[in-house]
Structure 1
Amino acid sequence: MMALSPNLAYLESEAIHIIRDGFAEAKRPVVLFSGGKDSTVLAHLVLRAFYPAPPPIPLLHVDSTWEFREVVEFRDRFARNHGFDLVVKANEEGRRQNINPFEHGDTYTTMMRTDPLKAALTDGGYDVIFGGARRDEEASRAKERIASVRNANHGWEPRNQRPELWRSYNWRLGKGQSIRAYPISNWTEHDLWTYIRMREIELAPLYFAADRPVVVRDGLRLVVDDDARMQWRDGETPTMEKVRFRTLGCWPVTGADPSDADHIDAVMYETLTSGMSERRGRVSDSGSLERQKRDGYF
């Protein structure tokens, strides 16, 4: 394992400080875990924050019911190998109604992601919720505080956020309030990938190029993760292409990139020389992420 650069060592120290600080003030903390690279790095920082003790904070995964199978397998393996308690929440009524990303758009995001997240947080009584969002990902996330206050309905109001000076975070909560805490807020995508390499962190296999069944739809390469649930258009036939993902979401609405990068150094080179946003392949980002966040989304 390589030594961290001064910048990465500082970011790691800052993140661990935030995790320990929030944990000390929390009654019921939880870590949001999607199985993506950001939440995986966050979970590793939790491990480092409390080593050699087992992790004292559970992982919470909101299962949209349209997750990549490799992500679900990685999620379960990661929690088991590192001693995390894992809580999985899904909207079973939405599953019965076959609410899906092909037909239901924003309704799908609300019913299958936002609503079960809010229900899981309420049912679990979680007051400090650690997430892996970074400010450089998207404009509305750049407005977030590291300790971001949510109202009793888990909604976000940017104008009600508190000042944060000199790494001092305000964890006090009013009635019904909770805090979404973002320990890697100040990290860039470059920082994240460099840290993953230096700390030898295992990621979900979808970040690495492999032959996968693909259809090209509306300019995006969609990997057909479950052909029985795929809603085919006339004339569509999947073809095998070597592709990988730069960001992970629900498989029917997340585009893959053609790539030969099947190991960490090649992925880093390809990612860090790209001039495109890492979230450009997220169809679900085509609407207002800020509006979704105000309603209680991640």
Structure 2
Amino acid sequence: MTATTDAPDVTGLSPTLADLEAEAIEIIREVVAEFDRPALLFSGGKDSAVLLHLARKAVWPAPLPITLLHVDTGHNLPEVLRFRDQVVADGNLRIEVAHVEEWIADGRLKERPDGTRNPLQTVPLLDTIAAQKFDALLGGARRDEDRARAKERIFSVRDAFGGWDPRRQRPELWNIYNGRHAPGEHTRVFPISNWTELDIWAYIEAENVPLPDIYYAHERDVFLRDGMLLTPGPWGGPRDGETLERKTVRYRTVGDGSCTGAVESDASDVRTVIAEITVSRLTERGATRADDRLSEAAMEDRKREGYF
């Protein structure tokens, strides 16, 4: 980055955000130009909302030539699904939804003993990529979220089984991206890889990017499990010894409700959220995602199998 101050430019973005936005838009335009059937992973979460906003800016005034893709575990928080559907309807966008429930119903997947469906997303994701012949997938992963994501390139080639091999990382000198891939392979692309959680929220404020309201403080019934505040849902409620309480919370990240926790917070708008995360010492995944606590290499293990 060349920026040395935080004074806003003519677009209302700080020089740092303007540079990050320009980099992301350049990457998205490269994908549109280089690939035949790109898709954008859209869960309705804050990172995918920012990514979609950037993608629409990248091609404006043309309509978005990219299909949205979401793997719905059946355990997603309903507020997020409503937001997803509203964004798609308002923008007249194309979306492909892979329902984990369908893979469980026909025997291609089995429920896990712990009840979480987050790891079950991989097979429906890979099956849908193959069925739709997607050759590039844009995603909102960021390097500050996890060590496995920190060492992945912006253009990341996946093999014919969707797997990621760190040894196949390609150099990206001078912002030159290589999306070449063999038949059956595809490329995962991370336009906001260099952003931080704070950058995301500053951009949301500057660009007025809409989000599901659960990112802001609200009252919710929660129970404590393994140090995390979970909410009851189709994945189950409190077990014996777990007490349901009404608390004022918000979500820093959203995903499968069985492993995504809330945090106690009174941050009710973007400004107070920014103030809150400025002093946080944990990334949002480190603070609220149980699936990343399974092992030191939990994320990398899932990525090698085809997880995003």
Q: Same fold (TM over 0.5)?
A: yes
Q: 1:284 aligns with which of 284, 287, 291?
A: 291
Task: Kindly state the Cα deviation for residue 93 of structure 1 after the two structures are TM-superposed.
Answer: 3.2
Name the structure 1 match of 2:253.
247
Q: Does the CA-based 8 Å contact 1:140-1:289 persist in structure 2?
A: yes
CA 1:191–1:183 in 2, change beyond 3 Å: closer, same or farther? Answer: same
Q: 1:153 aligns with which of 143, 161, 165?
A: 161
Q: Does the CA-based 8 Å contact 1:162-1:170 persist in structure 2?
A: yes
Task: Kindly state the Cα deviation for residue 76 of structure 1 after the two structures are TM-superposed.
Answer: 0.3
1:31 is the counterpart of 2:40: yes
In 2, distance between residues paired with 1:240 and 1:268? Answer: 24
1:52 is the counterpart of 2:58: no
Q: Does the CA-based 8 Å contact 1:150-1:177 persist in structure 2?
A: yes
State the one-letter code of the partner of 1:36: G
1:173 is the counterpart of 2:181: yes
CA 1:43–1:186 in 2, change beyond 3 Å: closer, same or farther? Answer: same
Alignment of 1:176-215 (within 5 A): 176-215=184-223
Task: Kindly state the Cα deviation for residue 52 of structure 1 after the two structures are TM-superposed.
Answer: 1.4
CA 1:39–1:93 in 2, change beyond 3 Å: closer, same or farther? Answer: same
In 1, distance between residues paired with 2:128 and 2:276? Answer: 37
Structure 1, unaligned stretches of length 5 or more?
none
1:265 is the counterpart of 2:271: yes
Deviations 1:110-150 (A, max 9, x none): 4x311111111111100011011011110000111111000
In 1, distance between residues paired with 2:226 and 2:278? Answer: 26
Structure 2, unaligned stretches of length 5 or more?
1-9
Task: Kindly state the Cα deviation for residue 26 of structure 1 after the two structures are TM-superposed.
Answer: 0.6
Task: Kindly state the Cα deviation for residue 249 of structure 1 after the two structures are TM-superposed.
Answer: 1.7
Q: 1:75 aligns with which of 84, 88, 94?
A: 84
Alignment of 1:91-240 (within 5 A): 91=100, 92-94=102-104, 100=111, 103-104=114-115, 108-110=117-119, 112-224=120-232, 226=233, 229-240=235-246
In 2, distance between residues paired with 1:2 and 1:152? Answer: 42
Give me the TM-score of the superposition, normalised by structure 2. Answer: 0.90
Q: Does the CA-based 8 Å contact 2:235-2:258 persist in structure 1?
A: no
Q: Does the CA-based 8 Å contact 1:214-1:222 persist in structure 2?
A: yes
CA 1:2–1:162 in 2, change beyond 3 Å: closer, same or farther? Answer: closer
Name the structure 2 match of 1:62.
71
State the one-letter code of the partner of 2:254: L
Give me the TM-score of the superposition, normalised by structure 1. Answer: 0.93
In 1, distance between residues paired with 2:269 and 2:105? Answer: 36
Task: Kindly state the Cα deviation for residue 104 of structure 1 after the two structures are TM-superposed.
Answer: 4.6
- How high is the sequence identity, in percent, across the aligned residues? 45
Q: Does the CA-based 8 Å contact 2:51-2:139 persist in structure 1?
A: yes
1:20 is the counterpart of 2:29: yes
CA 1:44–1:215 in 2, change beyond 3 Å: closer, same or farther? Answer: same
Deviating runs (4+, > 6 A) in structure 1? none
1:294 is the counterpart of 2:301: no
Q: Does the CA-based 8 Å contact 1:61-1:86 persist in structure 2?
A: yes
Question: Which region of structure 1 is more displaced relative to structure 2, 10-19 or 236-245?
Answer: 236-245
In 2, distance between residues paired with 1:276 and 1:56? Answer: 36
State the one-letter code of the partner of 2:55: V
